[in-house]
Amino acid sequence: MVKAKTFFKRHLLVHIWALAVLALFGLYWYGISSPAAANAVSGVTQIVKDGYANFWYLFPFSVVEWFYVGFIVAAAVWIAVLFHRLRTRPEKGHTAYGGLLGLACLCLTAYGLYCLLWGVNYYADGFQEKSGVYAQPVTVEALDRVTTDFAARLSDLADQVERDEDGVFAVPQDDIFAASPGIYENISQEFPFLARRDRVPKRMLFSRLFSAMNFTGFYSPYTGESNLNIDSPDCLLPANIAHELAHQRGIASEQECNFLAVAASLSCDDPVYQYSGCLMGYIYLGNALYGVDRERWTEIRQSLPDTVIADLRYHSDYWAQFEGLTAKVSKSIYDTTLRSYGQTAGIQSYGTVVDLLVAYY
pLDDT value, residue 93: 81
> What HEC string does 6-65 produce?
HHHHHCHHHHHHHHHHHHHHHHHHHHCCCHHHHHHHHHHHHHHHHHHHHHHCCCCCCHHH
Task: Provide the residue type at 187 as one letter.
Answer: I
Torsional class of 26: left (φ above 0), alpha (ψ -120 to 50), beta (otherwise): alpha
Burial (Cβ within 10 Å: 0-12, 13-18, ≥19) of residue 133: middle
Task: Provide the residue type at 286 as one letter.
Answer: G
pLDDT value, residue 7: 73
Give CA separation, 265 vs 184, 205, 240, 272, in Å: 8, 25, 10, 9
pLDDT value, residue 86: 81
Residues near 292 by Cβ (< 8 Å), separated by ≥ 6?
Answer: 140, 143
pLDDT value, residue 88: 83
pLDDT value, residue 332: 57
Q: Are strands 202-203 and 225-228 parallel, antiparallel or unpaired?
A: parallel
Find out whether 253 and 126 touch, Cβ atoms under 8 Å. Answer: yes
Q: Dihedral of the CA atoms 51, 54, 56, 58 (nearest 10)? A: -170
**What per-residue string of b and e applies to 170-188 under the rule 16 or more CB within 10 Å gives b?**
ebeeeebbebbeebbeebb
pLDDT value, residue 99: 83
Say what the pTM is: 0.89
- The whole-number mean pLDDT for each consecutive block of 10 residues of the chain, a chain of 361 residues, reads 69 90 96 96 96 95 93 89 83 82 91 96 96 91 95 96 96 97 97 96 94 93 96 97 97 95 98 98 95 94 96 95 64 55 46 90 93
Q: Where are the alpha helices (DSSP H) in 118-249?
A: 127-131, 140-157, 173-179, 185-190, 207-212, 237-248
Residues near 6 by Cβ (< 8 Å), separated by ≥ 6?
Answer: none
pLDDT value, residue 349: 34
